[in-house]
Amino acid sequence: MQPFTLLIKPSGSDCNIDCKYCFYKERAPEFGKGRQRMSDEVLEKLVKDYMQLRFPVVGFAWQGGEPTLMGLDFFRRAVELQKKFGSHGQQISNTLQTNGVLLDDKWCRFFHENKFLLGISIDGPKEFHDRYRLDHSGSGTFDKVMRGIKTCKKYEVELSALVLLNNISIQQPDRLFDFLVDNDLTYIQFIPCVELDPASGKLADFSITPAKYGEFLCRIFDRWYEYGTEKLNIREFDSLTTYYCLGNNTICTYSRQCAGFVVVEHTGDCFACEFFVEPKWFLGNILETPLDKIASGSKKRTFARDKQNLPNKCLLCNHLDICRGGCMKDRARLNTAGQTCESYFCESYKQFFDYAVPKFKQIAAAIEAGSLARHTRSADRIRLKIQK
């Protein structure tokens, strides 16, 4: 069996803030009323099943909603179970995606001691961030998030900035880049925001256009190249650098298949992708079906292969080898007609690849020649190693 990462949502869609662009809020009614919390029974079963697959490196990606709503004892228990069921020499990667609001000394001390890698949502300067990332009273969350980032740095917690690109921030790439660099956020993931308004069926106001996204990528690439590619890790750019060095991409957007994850809801229900949590792609429940059967079942294999269902426009494209049609969400989520279609961001990628690929090849050649380093993390800093 090919290794995969568990993407776990222990608090379901529950969140302590009220982001206006959150796609996951739509799912709250599916779980009924009351708090959504993963039971110890579900936690122990999924950790046991996963660790006993004996992958050399196992990946637990904790997301939400807001996973810190589970409380620190939940994650202490998770690490305890990982050590209990792991085998000697097995390496454990724990990543946690958070809005950063609840991070304090206790949380950050724990994350440092247990080598958690954090992804903290920060959309840029205060006026960018507070446009859509509000609390339930309608107030901005920027100051609380920056306080959380400061506490992470105090305890040397490894972190990445998760920057959602909306209709405001997409227009000011230089200001956004400067903010991230000035705050020493040197690991960055840009996430393009595009959603449909459920009432009108049209693009929501906060969504970005393909043209603007293409322009943004080109400008950010220039800033990254000028700043020093070895000083700053931008996830999308690092994946393309890896492709030109080693021949493979490191993010699912550009992968040949969507096979790298199993999503586990707080109930134990499993799905193939967090963007396709729907009956069609329900893989089973961890309390009823062993994880190895869930991960190797026919639905999971079908979903993985579906990424290769591309229109002729993609198959004839010069950039097929690096793009692979982009994220299936951006092909299927915005397609109401049911036919195979290209990504909403097709023209964005074309513009960017036409512009940047020659320089990516230069960067890869310099790395292979030993004249340029890459800005990467040491595995020792972000993985626990089982000693038995």
Domains and CATH numbers, the chain: 5-298 (3.20.20.70)
Which has the minimum average pLDDT: 182-191, 195-204, 237-246, 367-376? 195-204
Q: 184 in helix, strand or coil?
A: coil
CA atoms within 13 A on the CB side of 261: 24
Cα 166-21-9 angle, rounded to 5 deg: 120
Interval 362-383: pLDDT, tens: 999 999 999 888 888 877 788 8
Omega into 65 within 30° of 0, i.e. cis?
yes
Average of pLDDT values for 129-158? 98
Interval 85-105: pLDDT, tens: 999 999 999 999 999 999 999
Q: Give the whole-angstrom CA distance, residue 118 versus residue 35.
A: 24
Do residues 40 and 77 lie in contact, with contact meaning Cβ atoms separated by under 8 Å? yes
Q: Is the pLDDT of residue 33 over 90?
A: no
The whole-number pLDDT of residue 27 equals: 59
Beta strand residue intervals within the chain, DSSP E: 5-9, 57-62, 91-98, 116-121, 158-165, 187-192, 233-234, 261-265, 269-271, 282-285, 384-385
Amino acid identity for residue 134 in this structure: L
Q: Give the whole-angstrom CA distance, residue 48 versus residue 244.
A: 37
Average of pLDDT values for 243-264? 92
What is residue 197's DSSP assignment? Answer: -
Mean of all residue pLDDT scores within the chain = 93
The whole-number pLDDT of residue 327 equals: 92
Closest CA to 176 of 117, 217, 139: 217
What is residue 329's DSSP assignment? Answer: I
Average of pLDDT values for 172-196? 97
Neighbours of 334 (CB within 10 A): 15
The whole-number pLDDT of residue 380 equals: 79
Q: Which two tokens stand for residue 284?
A: 């089973």
Cα 13-16-17 angle, rounded to 5 deg: 95
Reported as a pLDDT band with limits 50, 70 and 90, residue 198 is: confident
* Pairing, β 91-98 against β 384-385: antiparallel
Closest CA to 145 of 52, 246, 220, 66: 66
Burial of 60 (0-12, 13-18, 19+ CB in 10 A): buried
Q: Which two tokens stand for residue 107?
A: 């949380």
Q: Is the pLDDT of residue 34 over 70?
A: no
What is residue 58's DSSP assignment? Answer: E
Interval 214-235: pLDDT, tens: 999 999 999 999 999 999 999 9
Closest CA to 269 of 31, 80, 87: 31
The whole-number pLDDT of residue 382 equals: 83
Closest CA to 62 of 23, 113, 119: 119
The whole-number pLDDT of residue 272 equals: 95
Interval 275-321: pLDDT, tens: 999 999 999 999 999 999 999 999 999 999 999 999 999 999 999 99
Q: Which two tokens stand for residue 66?
A: 């807001």
